[in-house]
Amino acid sequence: MDKEQHNSSPEAVSERRRRLLKGAAAGAPVIATLQSGAALANTSAYQCLLEAQSNPPDTVTAQADGWVRKNATRTLWYANDGSGNTVWVYTIDGQQFTETDADGDGLGDPWTGAGYTASSDPTEVDQPVQVLVYYEYPPDGTDATEVGPYPKFLATYTPPSGNDTTPLTGTCLCSINPGAPQCP
């Protein structure tokens, strides 16, 4: 095959077209449509809220797991009446709460200790735990305000504003509220 025939072969023609298109594409201005930062943040925040609602995290864990949590301790208390009833009491920032909500206000009941005795088993006393923190999230998606930790605040709590409360992962909190103290 001579040089002239080689240059007009279908493969050679295709190769020349490829080079021409690559060169033209490299020199042509690119026009792209990007989402605005606010729209992207709202989409991200919405996905965070969907995740919290569809896969709610455990309220208490032994160690951090990506959700915003607070350090606490818990102790098991036994009823003095011989019924065998027990209650976990959580100590958070010097205050004690149970996981019960006797009056239905969405707040864990403060612990008085009346009628109960703390466990004497060292594995049931002052266990370090991580408790979930709830946030108030306004419908406009502008900010997330800390409501407080479980069990002081339960999943059923509704703040005076009427907005919903939800747990957040650390990355979601920082996406929604970059100035939060937990954010780098």
Percent above pLDDT 90 for the chain: 46
- Average pLDDT (34-61) is 70
| DSSP strand pairing (69-79 vs 145-149) | unpaired
Whole-number pLDDT of residue 73: 97
Domain-by-domain residue ranges, the chain? 37-176
Q: How many CA atoms lie within 13 A of 178 on its CB side?
A: 3
Tell me the pTM: 0.71
- 32 has pLDDT over 60: no
Mean pLDDT on 40-47: 60
Cα angle value 172/178/181 (rounded, 5°)? 95
Task: Give 114-135 as a DSSP string.
Answer: TTEEE---GGGSSEEEEEEEEE
Q: Is the peptide bond before 151 cis (omega within 30 degrees of 0)?
A: yes
- CA–CA dist 94, 63 (Å, integer): 20
pLDDT digits (tens, 9 = 90+) for 101-158: 999 999 999 999 999 999 999 999 999 999 999 998 777 666 788 999 999 999 889 9
> What pLDDT does 180 receive?
80
